[in-house]
Amino acid sequence: MKKNKRLEKQFAKKFLNHVGRQNLGALQELGAVGELVGKAPELKGFLEGPQFSAGEKKGVMEELCSKLQVSDGTRKFLEYAIDQEAMPMFGGIVEDAVKLYLDYTRRTKAVVVSAVDFPAGGALENRLKGSLKKLTGRDVDIEYVRDPSVLGGVLVKVDSTMFDSSLKGQLRLLKEELIKG
């Protein structure tokens, strides 16, 4: 398992070095191909399976890249991944490429979960981004998720750290304090 993770990261680095470390467009193209492959089990099986030749797989990938209007750099990387039989790791490669891109551009991603639709683009979002930038030392891209089970407040996940300012989280902390005495 660790070997595959290491290989995924190596392929992700090769991709970003090939297209340019800060090439958001190419990263979005790779993500679009990854999303399509992930949603189509037949395509995923075809690209990952040993029963088809690299030439056949490249032909299908060429057609897919043409339909998605993928750049030459991304297309060449996908052909390279097919040649190297790396398609079974494709999802992990895309995931690692996004992480590396964020690292190279000194950015991070936060997921904000609240019971109501969060007002994006306003003063509240700017305050949240400013606070998260102070915490992380990086510019923050925010993804908003609506979850009615969150009672009052928000949950914010940045990388592997969770900040819980929800009512449920505050009650849990109070309960722990009361139990400690």
Cross-strand bridge partners of residue 164: 155
Whole-model pTM: value is 0.70
CA distance linking residue 165 with residue 176, whole number of Å: 15
pLDDT at residue number 30: 94
Average pLDDT, the chain: 88
CA distance linking residue 162 with residue 156, whole number of Å: 6
The secondary structure of 149-172 as a DSSP string is TS-SSEEEEETTEEEE-SHHHHHH
Measure CA 129 to chain center: 19
Which regions of 18-153 does DSSP assign to beta strands (E)? 107-114, 139-146
Q: Is 17 helix (H, G, I), strand (E, B) or coil?
A: helix
Measure CA 170 to chain center: 29
Return the domain boundaries, the chain.
2-103, 108-180
Measure CA 107 to chain center: 13
Q: Is 143 helix (H, G, I), strand (E, B) or coil?
A: strand
Label residue 1 by pLDDT band (50, 70, 90): low
In this structure, are strands 154-158 and 107-114 parallel, antiparallel, or unpaired?
antiparallel
Q: What dotted CATH number matches 108-180?
A: 3.40.30
Q: Which of 32-41, 62-71, 151-160 has the lowest mean pLDDT?
A: 151-160
pLDDT at residue number 32: 93
CA angle 149, 152, 157 (to 5 degrees): 75
pLDDT in tens, 99-126: 899 888 888 888 988 888 777 677 888 8
pLDDT at residue number 167: 82
Q: Is 175 helix (H, G, I), strand (E, B) or coil?
A: helix
For residue 176, is pLDDT > 70? yes
Contacts of 178 (CB under 8 A, 6+ apart): none
| Alpha-carbon dihedral sign for residues 149, 152, 157, 160 | negative
pLDDT at residue number 174: 86
In the chain, % of residues over pLDDT 90:
45
The secondary structure of 127-139 as a DSSP string is HHHHHHHHHHSSE
CA distance linking residue 59 with residue 75, whole number of Å: 11
